[in-house]
Amino acid sequence: MEIQQETCINESLYDVLVIGAGIAGEESALKLADMGYRVLLVEKEPSIGGKMILLSKVFPTLDCAACITTPKVSETARHPNITILTLTEVEEIVRDTKNRFSVTLKKKPRYVVEKDCTGCQECEKACPAIVNDQFQFNLTARKAVYIPFTIANPRVALIDIDNCLLCGACEKACPSNCIDFTQKEEQLKITAKSVIVSTGFKLFDPIQIERYGFGRYKNVITSMQMERQLAPTRPFNNILRPSDGKVPDKIAYVFCAGSRDHTVGNPICSQVCCMYSTKQAQLLMGALPMADVSLYYINIRAFGKGFDEFYEQAKDMGAKYVKGKIASITEKENGNLILRYEDIATGKVTEKEHDLVVLSVGILANPGITRVFKKERLETDALNYIRQTDLLQSPAITSIEGVFAAGTATAPMDIPDTIMSAGAAATETSSYLARLS
């Protein structure tokens, strides 16, 4: 793979540049590579896979997310027509005179020679610096030199230089001598005939909603933190609440935390929270058979194929759905939380105690990429998603000819819709490339 990567970089002409290697980017890249186009896939994180690779299971089939996504990740990684650059961000994209895009990339140093690392984790054992693990959403800690997560691809270490003590312990411990502190940030210039933007979404940070106490109350966590606790590669091998490590038995879900809410600037539905919360509720009832799970919602939006049946199934399993938006959360001395809401069914203000609260956080646009397009403007819509200029013709068409969009870069959507959107972007790109030649 590495050899091929180097030759490709030297040649530096690609049919397609795909920005973002989540499921949308991978799917588009694979489809185009299978058609014979040469694809450069750029990812700013140290591993490809995006957010799906971190999930527990998918709704409504309850398939293991990792089991579905890792084959796709591996296929992407070893496809002869795909070149992957991790820890790389796009700096500038300008159309040149030959109707191609000149692309400037910034590759951050890994401080580990990628092709020599065996993933043995000896460096991790030796490293004395401990920091929050962002891939476990701060549930646990990692070392300053680390492999992002168990099923990362490429499964090689990197050094988080901001937290590194520069003690050199990893260098001594490494059996293959691949630690290299002399690596520098590189600027790469390539040319691409077309671009697919698959930069995904950002999660809503619930610290904005002070009334929910996230960040102040230890036992208020996000749905992503719960997702990690339920995943096959989960950190605790159990469900534990953060304040005292107790196994919770009265769990509450707060729906629409940061969605359908004008006060946080995100008035739209995030499309997935109802269903992922329903999925987590089912998994929790499996993991903790004695636990009560209550889900506080405004409206249940189970609109997709099999979704409503999935919702009914959760209710049949014993999940308690309560109509009423949580207005405020207060913490008791023992770490339990009091949720205050109006029970819409009775019209009465009610307070309920729970020992763990999960905020079903919403999806926000991730529009940073629009800044790299020079001369031409990649337009966004009112909520900063990439504007689909001709939605009826194709969901992938953007305001720039030759630049297409895939997945949640265009709107909040679930995994099946993302796959469809990525397929549309690949089709649109191949037809554009055919027209170009």
Partner 1 sequence: MTQIQPELTEDIKKYGAFDFTACYNCGNCTAVCNLTEKNSNFPRMMVRYSMLGLKEEILSSKELWMCYACGECSDTCPREAGPGVLMSNLRRYAIANYEKTGLTRLMFKNNPFFIAITLILAVVLAFFLLTIKPDTEVARWLFRYVPYEVLHSFGMGAFALMGLSAFVGVVVMWRHIGKEKKIAFTGEFFKKAVNAAKKVIGEVATLKRYQNCDSDSSIWSKKAVWLRPWFVHWTIMWGFIGLLVATTLDFIFKDPATTIWWPSRILGTIAGILMVYGSTVALNYRFRKITKTYANTLMADWMFLGFLWLAGITGFWLEIAVAMGADLFINHVVLMIHIIISMELVILFAFSKFAHAFYRPLALFMHNL
DSSP string, 102-171: EEEEEEPP-SB-TTT-----HHHHH---EEE-GGGTTSSEEESEE-SSTT-SS---EE-TTT-----HHH
Looking at the Cβ atoms of 55 and 257, the one nearer to partner 1 is: 257
Torsion of CA 94, 100, 106, 110, to 10 degrees: 160
Least separation in angstroms between residue 356's CB and partner 1 is 20
Least separation in angstroms between residue 327's CB and partner 1 is 3
Strand segments (E) across 101-157 = 101-107, 130-132, 141-143, 145-146
Secondary structure element (H or E) that encloses residue 118, with its range: none
Scan residues 349-408 and list those touching partner 1 (CB under 8 A). 349
Looking at the Cβ atoms of 122 and 343, the one nearer to partner 1 is: 343
Least separation in angstroms between residue 307's CB and partner 1 is 20
Computed on alpha carbons and rounded to an integer, the radius of gyration of the chain in Å comes to 23
Looking at the Cβ atoms of 165 and 349, the one nearer to partner 1 is: 349
Distance, CA of 237 to CA of 289 (rounded, Å): 16
Least separation in angstroms between residue 180's CB and partner 1 is 51
Nearest to 358, CA basis, from 246, 218, 223, 249: 223
Nearest to 337, CA basis, from 229, 416, 219, 179: 219
Binding string, residues 310-349; x marks residues near partner 1 by CB under 8 A: --------------xxxxx-----------xxxxx--xxx
Q: Taking CB under 8 A as the rule, does residue 262 contact partner 1?
A: yes
Binding string, residues 196-235; x marks residues near partner 1 by CB under 8 A: --------------xx------------------------
Least separation in angstroms between residue 329's CB and partner 1 is 11
Least separation in angstroms between residue 336's CB and partner 1 is 18
Other Cβ atoms closer than 10 A to 357: 29
Range in contact with partner 1 (rule: CB under 8 A) among 2-10, 142-150, 259-267, 277-285: 259-267
Contact residues for partner 1, defined by CB under 8 A? 210-211, 256, 260-263, 267, 298-299, 324-328, 340-344, 347-349
